[in-house]
Amino acid sequence: MAGLLRDLRAHLAWQREEGGAEVMDMERPQGPPLPARSGGAAPEAAVVPPAASAPLARRTLEAIRGELGDCQRCKLCSGRKQLVFGAGNPHARLVFVGEGPGAEEDLQGLPFVGPAGQLLTKMIGAMGLQREDVYICNVVKCRPPGNRNPEPDEIAACEPFLRAQLNSIGPEVVVALGKFAAQTLLRDATPITRLRGQWRTYQGMKLMPTFHPAYLLRNPAEKKPCWEDLKAVMAVLGKPAPKP
Ligand code: SF4
C-alpha cells in the first residue's frame, strides 16, 4: 500500500507539473512496479564515429566501474568532483540514458538528482514505476565545465562504457533522453524533434528517443509529446495503458 501511495503521489506531482487538462490521460496509476528479472541541449550535432560493431563480452556493472577507475581518458576528468557512473536496478527492463552530469550530480556522484532529475523521477512515477525499478546513466560520466555540451572526443572516449553498461543490463527498452543520448546511440544527427517518438533499435534493444527533462523544464508544452513517448514505452513493457 505504501508503494502504491508513493506511485500515486509521484504521478500526481508530474500531473501538476504538466498543468491539468492536457494530461487527462495521465490521471491514474498504472499498476504494480515492473518485476525485476532474475539475476536540454544546444542544436549542434553530437554524432561520433561509429563504434566497433564486434559483440561485447558481458561484464557486471561492478567490473565496468572498476575498469573506469579514476578515469582520465578525456579532458572532463580535470573538472569533475566525482565520476557519475549510473544508478538503479542492474537487471532493469528499462534504462534511461541522459547526456552528462550537472552540478548537483557532480556533487553527489549520482545521476539525475538536480532539478531535471526531480522531473525525471516524476516521469518515472507517472509510468507506475520507481527509480529503483529502472537504471539511469549518462553518455559521459563526468560533468562538462559550466554544463557545456559534451564534445565529440569526450563522447567517443566515454561511450564504450555506456555500451558496456547497456550490454551488462540488457534492458528491453532504452529511453534516450535528449539529442546527445539519442544521436550518440543511434549515430544519427537528425534533430531530436524528429527522432523523438520513433522506435529504433540499439544492439537488439528497443530504443525510444524523447526530450531531456532539462528541456522539458524550459519548454513545458513539450511534456505532452514526451508523455506519449513514455506511454509507448509502457505498452512495450506490458504496463496497463492509462485510462482517459
Ligand atoms: S567523461 Fe568518461 S572518458 Fe572522460 S574522464 Fe570521465 S569517465 Fe573518463
154 lines ligand 1 (CB under 6 A): yes
pLDDT of 111 reads 98
Which residue has the CA at smallest separation from atom 3 of ligand 1? 158
Percent of the chain scored above 70 by pLDDT?
A: 75
Ligand 1 centre distance from Cα of residue 140 (Å):
6
The pLDDT score that the predictor gives to residue 147 is: 87
The span from the first CA to the last CA of the chain, in angstroms, equals 24
| Average pLDDT rounded to a whole number, residues 16-28 | 38
Candidate from 67, 70, 78, 83 with most ligand 1 atoms within 8 A of CB, to mutate: 83
Residue 112 three-state SS: coil
CA angle 105, 75, 64 (to 5 degrees): 60
Mean pLDDT of all residues in 54-74: 91
Q: What is the pLDDT of residues 78-106, one digit of tens each?
A: 999 999 999 999 999 999 999 999 999 99
d(CA 95, CA 207): 10
Least confident of 26-35, 83-92, 124-133: 26-35
Q: Is the pLDDT assigned to residue 148 strictly greater than 70?
A: yes
User: Nearest-CA neighbor of 65 among 87, 50, 48, 81?
Assistant: 87
Query: What mean pLDDT do residues 171-194 have?
Result: 96
Of all residues in the chain, what percent carry a pLDDT higher than 90? 72
Q: Closest ligand 1 atom, CA of 77?
A: 5
Residue whose CA is at the smallest distance from ligand 1 atom 2:
158
Q: Considering only CA atoms, which residue is closest to atom 7 of ligand 1?
A: 141
> pLDDT value at position 57?
80
> What's the chain's Rg over C-alpha atoms?
17
Can you list the domains of the chain with their CATH numbers? 2-37+53-236 (3.40.470.10)
**Is there an atom of ligand 1 within 6 Å of 64 CB?**
no
Q: Is the pLDDT of residue 40 over 60?
A: no
Which whole number is the average pLDDT over 3-19? 50
pTM: 0.83
> Where does the pLDDT of residue 16 fall: very low under 50, low under 70, confident under 90, or very high at 90 and above?
low
Confidence (pLDDT) at 81: 97
Q: Which of 81, 84, 140 to mutate to test the pocket of ligand 1 (most atoms within 8 A of CB)?
A: 140
User: How far does residue 100's CA lie from ligand 1's centre (Å)?
Assistant: 10
Q: Is the CB of 65 under 6 A from ligand 1?
A: no
Q: Is 166 in the pocket of ligand 1 (CB under 6 A)?
A: no
Most informative mutation of 71, 148, 180 for ligand 1 (most atoms within 8 A of CB):
71
User: Is 163 touching ligand 1 by the criterion CB < 6 Å?
Assistant: no
Strand ordering across the sheet containing 87-88:
87-88, 135-138, 94-98, 173-177, 205-210, 200-202
